[in-house]
Amino acid sequence: MTFTLNRRSAASLGRWAIGMRLFSAVALDGAPLGNSGWISLALAGLMSLPLVLMISFMSRAQPEASPISLIEEAIGLWARRTLCLVLSMFSLYEAGVSTRMAVTCAEYVAFHQTPTLVLTLLPICVCGIACLRGGLGVSGASQVLRYLFFLLIGGMIIVEIGSMNWRWLMPVLGPGVDPLLRAALSYSGMTTALASIWLCMGEETGLDRTGGTEYKKTGPFYPLKILGVITLGAVIAALLLTVLAPSLPGGPNARDFALDKLLANGLSGAPLQLPLMLVWFLAQALMLAFYIYTASFLLKNCFEKLPWWACVLVVSAVTAFLAFSGITDRAYIDKVNALIRYPAVNVILFAVGAVSIIKQRGKRVAKG
Amino acid sequence: MRRGKVTVLIALMLPLCMALGGCSTTLQPENQNYGLSMSIDRTDEGLIELGLLVPSGKESDGGGEDEPQGKDNYQRFFTLGASYTDALDIMQASTPRTLNLTQLKSIVISQRLASEPAFKGLVESLTLTNHLYGSTYVIICLTSAKDFLNAEKPQAGKRLVSELYTSLKHYEQQGYLPLCRLSDLYYGINSIYGDPVVSLGAPVDTSQDVLTLPSGDLGDALPGALPRLGLEQNELMGGALIRDGQMIGVLDGAECRWLQVLNGRLSGFNYVCQGLTLRLECKSRPRVSVDLSKNPIVIDISLQMIPAPLREMPDAEVLKQQLKTELMDLLAHCQSLSVDPFDFAEIAAAQFLTVEDFVRYGWREHWRDAEIRLSVEVVGTQD
């Protein structure tokens, strides 16, 4: 069994995982941004361009080579292993954050008397089993939601269109330029997830990963296109969210309150809640599966002799542990991401990309 | 093969996760005390009295006054505390089953408590109460909220859910009652876009059985004194004006009707002019513009109404003048209290770049002194 993703699966997973993370950041944790979170998202899309361009350039320079082999070629075996370990740890952290958020939602909405331990372990086990079947198991689920999503969102918009108030988008700059820029910087961390997806892609062999039958080639990985789709989708979602409830400068930042605002909205009728819940929980399961998968894949690329099932098991266990620990609490997420994760991943990958490009040019010059 | 075995093993172990939590309490309906309505009062001693209406599992024996035999009954719990959260804690500790607020449909707060500065904090505490959802309706009671709760009788079985919704929606359609959910109230108190109006209610004074007409039309009466008699002992009509998180005035039913016309939430209603009954329909939502460049600021409101007389059309000029007078009275009433339930602030806010700029501008003071230019047109007639 091959554990890498094909191009199409990578693109599908990337859109969901990053889009969901961005949306939850705006909807649940973006209270200080008030009515203008959509501006930060749009700016984040622009800020992510340099690294995404670098990834795009590398993947186009040698479209047949796997990203892992490209990196190994650029910085050597041990450096590549170390990089995979670091990225695996960051994916693990994000898996813990995703689990905690999913558990909070489930507890708040319906399972408030179910032990948290059960609520935590169940989704991890389910996602872990999906990951055991390799990348296609995870990405297959995202394909299902892809078609369901537009149906559900379309229904919600039709139901709620009468209660949307577009004046709540004003004043246009909301809390002011500084908070919007700071949030944009934080949201631009979406590139780390995009980079993880890119690393999980295998060589483009034109063969199905499981059966060996031919499948339709979907062409090269288009990180720019994915970034554009994610940014646009997240901006539209943030706009819709804003016109459904007025912003509250200085309002409570409690996640319970934000969840109520998001899921029930306090203003919306039952017809809105069911599709929103479906989209919300399906996408959360997908996000968790994605991070467990990427963490396992990167761990496997660090310790090649470790069997795949052992990687998934270790990652699942650590995810559960992280979900219960304080560092995945909302108060620390922004700090961990802004101070450690995003700068580290962006700087390291940008440097690796630069080295790779320089080496490739050197080879071309030598050949010439 | 080996991997397949591992997958099967993990899948088989999955149900064991259920056992990890031990023997937890389950969410069976019979183990829950589902609150349907909540009352909050300030006592003479300065304490908070919390009341909860809970459906009773047993049938009433019909011995109580006004309780039809065999009908479902309610249980009522009341607790006292220094604050709302204290009283709720005592309630949770003293109810015989697990207190569950997920089905709460209404919160009744006494006018006395709503008129205190502490009201804003109370609304925030209510909003942040776990599993008390924002879709719960809020009612401000002109008298004791406890009396309001005690007067709740099951008219159509235990399903206050549909009973309350049906009656509230009906009153809203008449235009006399502005509906306000907990989230509306919370957003309205904290938002920069205007001030909330909360439904007004009161229990009937049962000691009097003589009906008296209000001085004007039906809408001029306040709840508790409506010219009616019936099984339902609680009356709902009019609205409580909230400014800076505190109740500062009252709108009667007729004023609420005009408020909802100006907000674009009411498109038609029955009306009396020169003793003739007609139906008034709004041709479109009122057009409102706010000119901040002038001092005082100028608010232009343009309203087009289509009258549909029942028998005979009153004089158009008299009708127009009457509509204009009533609307201007309402606007002047709200201006005198510096309260903006019309959401004119939404239009003004769009002319600023940041929220801070708008807050610094001081909309409330400018609104109080604003010059209103109201244009009411009576266009065509409907047959």
Q: What are the tens digits of pLDDT across the range A216-273?
A: 444 556 777 778 888 888 888 888 878 877 766 666 556 666 666 666 544 444 445 6
Question: Rounded CA gap, B91 and A42, in Å?
Answer: 48
Longest dimension (CA), chain A: 70
A313 has pLDDT over 70? yes
What local confidence, expressed as pLDDT, does residue B293 receive? 87
What 3-state class would DSSP assign to B290?
Answer: strand
For residues B25 and B31, the answer to whether their CB atoms sit within 8 Å is yes
Average pLDDT value for residue range A271-287 = 72
Contact with chain B for residue A251, Cβ under 8 A: yes
Helix (H, G, I), strand (E, B), or coil: what is residue B358? helix
pLDDT tens-place string over residues B240-296: 999 988 999 999 888 888 898 888 888 888 888 877 888 888 888 889 889 888 888
Structural element, H or E, at residue B195: none
**Rounded Cα–Cα distance for residues A41 and A186 (Å):** 10
DSSP run (H or E) holding B100 = strand B98-100
**How far is residue A216 from each of residues A8, A56, A220, measured CA to CA in Å?**
10, 21, 12
Cβ separation B182–A266 shorter than 8 A: yes
**Strand duo B371-378 + B298-309: pairing:** parallel
Higher-scoring residue by pLDDT: A76, A271:
A76
Most A CBs within 10 Å: which of B14, B192, B285, as the mutation test of the A interface? B192
pTM of the prediction?
A: 0.76
Give the pair of three-digit tokens for residue B243: 């400014």
Asked if A228 has any chain B CB less than 8 Å from its own CB, the reply is: no
Whether residue B354 and residue A114 make contact (CB cut-off 8 A), yes or no, is no
Query: Can you give the pLDDT at residue B140?
Result: 93
pLDDT at B214: 58
Helix and strand element counts for chain B (H, E): 13, 15
Contact residues for A153 (Cβ-Cβ < 8 A; gap 6+): A275, A279
Q: Which residue has the higher pLDDT, B331 or A156?
A: B331
pLDDT band of A3, cuts 50, 70, 90: low
Predicted pLDDT at A343: 74
A164 and chain B in contact, CB less than 8 A: no
Best CA proximity match to B152, nearest among B260, B71, B227, B76: B76
Rg (CA), chain A: 20
Distance of residue A331 Cα from the nearest chain B Cα, in angstroms: 18
Say what the pLDDT of residue B217 is.
61
Q: CA A241: distance to chain centroid?
A: 20
Distance CA A362, CA A314 (A): 41
Are B10 and A174 in contact (CB < 8 Å)?
no
CA distances from A298 to A292, B23, B187 (A): 10, 39, 45
> Token pair of B68, please?
């039809």
Is the Cα dihedral A216, A217, A221, A225 positive or negative? Answer: negative
Provide the CA B191 distance to its chain's centre, in angstroms. 17
Residue A206 tokens read as 């034109």
**Backbone dihedral region for residue B196 (phi beyond 0: left; psi -120 to 50: alpha; all else: beta):** beta
The pLDDT assigned to A74 comes to 79
3-class SS of residue A2: coil
Q: How far apart are CA A145 and CA A16, in angstroms?
A: 9
Report which of A38, A44, A27, A303 is spatially closest to residue A193, judged by C-alpha positions. Answer: A44
CB-nearest to A254 from B18, B25, B128 is B128
Question: What is the average per-residue pLDDT within B137-163?
Answer: 75
**A27 phi and psi, to 5 degrees?**
-75, -40
DSSP secondary structure string, A271-321?
A: HHHHHHHHHHHHHHHHHHHHHHHHHHHHHHHHSTTS-HHHHHHHHHHHHHH
Closest by alpha carbon to B243, among B98, B363, B92?
Answer: B363
Q: Which of B20, B353, B358 sits opposite A121 (nearest CB)?
A: B20
Which segments of chain B does DSSP mark as H helices, in order? 2-13, 17-20, 84-94, 111-114, 119-128, 145-150, 160-174, 182-190, 253-262, 316-336, 344-349, 355-361, 363-368
* Contacting residues of A for B353, CB less than 8 Å apart: 171-173
The reported pLDDT for the residue numbered B64 is: 47
Q: In this predicted structure, which of A50-54, A294-298, B37-41, B75-79 has the lowest mean pLDDT?
A: A50-54
Q: Half-sphere exposure of residue B253, counting CA atoms within 13 Å on the CB side?
A: 25
DSSP state of B102: T
Q: Is the pLDDT of residue B20 over 60?
A: no
Q: How confident is the model at residue B207 (pLDDT cuts 50, 70, 90)?
A: low
Measured between alpha carbons, how far is A17 from A13 in angstroms, rounded to an integer? Answer: 6
Q: Of the candidates B27, B134, B193, which has its C-beta nearest A168's C-beta?
A: B193
CA distance B98 to B31: 6
- Biggest alpha carbon–alpha carbon distance for chain B: 92
Q: How does the average pLDDT of chain A come out, rounded?
A: 76
Residues from chain A that touch B131, judged by Cβ atoms under 8 A, are 108, 112
Q: Quick one: pLDDT band at residue A54, thresholds 50, 70, 90?
A: confident
pLDDT at B109 exceeding the cut of 90: yes
* Set of chain A residues whose Cβ sits within 8 Å of the Cβ of B359: 249
Measure Cα distances from B281 to B63, B180, B306, B308, B382 in Å.
49, 24, 5, 8, 9
Does the pLDDT at position A180 exceed 70? Answer: yes
User: How much of chain A is in helix, strand and coil states, percent to nearest 5?
Assistant: 80, 0, 20
- Inform me whether the C-beta atom of residue A121 falls under 8 Å from chain B C-beta atoms: yes
Distance CA A326, CA A328 (A): 5
Which residues between 25 and 44 in chain A have a beta carbon less than 8 angstroms from any beta carbon of chain B? 34-35
From the number of C-beta atoms within 10 Å of its C-beta (0-12, 13-18, 19+), residue B175 rates as: buried
Of the given ranges (A31-35, A162-166, B32-36), which has the lowest mean pLDDT? A31-35
3-state secondary structure of B133: coil
DSSP secondary structure letters along B202-260: EE--TT-------SSSGGGSPTT--S---S--EEEEEEEEEETTEEEEEE-HHHHHHHH
Terminal Cα-to-Cα distance of chain A (whole angstroms): 40
ipTM summary value: 0.72
pLDDT, residue B158, reads 47
Q: What is the pLDDT of residues B333-369, one digit of tens each?
A: 999 999 999 889 888 988 888 888 888 898 888 999 8
Task: Kindly list the residues from chain A whose CB atom is less than 8 angstroms away from the CB atom of residue B14.
Answer: 122, 125-126, 129
d(CA B195, CA B337): 11
The helix/strand/coil state of B281 is: strand
Residues of chain A positioned with their CB less than 8 A from the CB of B347: 167
Find the helix packing angle between A190-200 and A223-244, rounded to 10°: 140
Within 8 A of A176 by CB-CB distance, chain B residues are 354-356
Dump the DSSP string for A43-73: HHHHHTHHHHHHHHHHHHHSTTS-HHHHHHH
- Average pLDDT over all residues of chain B: 80
Of residues A288, A295, A290, the one with CA closest to residue A86: A295
Residue partners of A22: CB distance under 8 A and separation at least 6: A41, A44, A187, A190, A230, A234
B109: three-class secondary structure by DSSP: strand
pLDDT at res. B134: 76
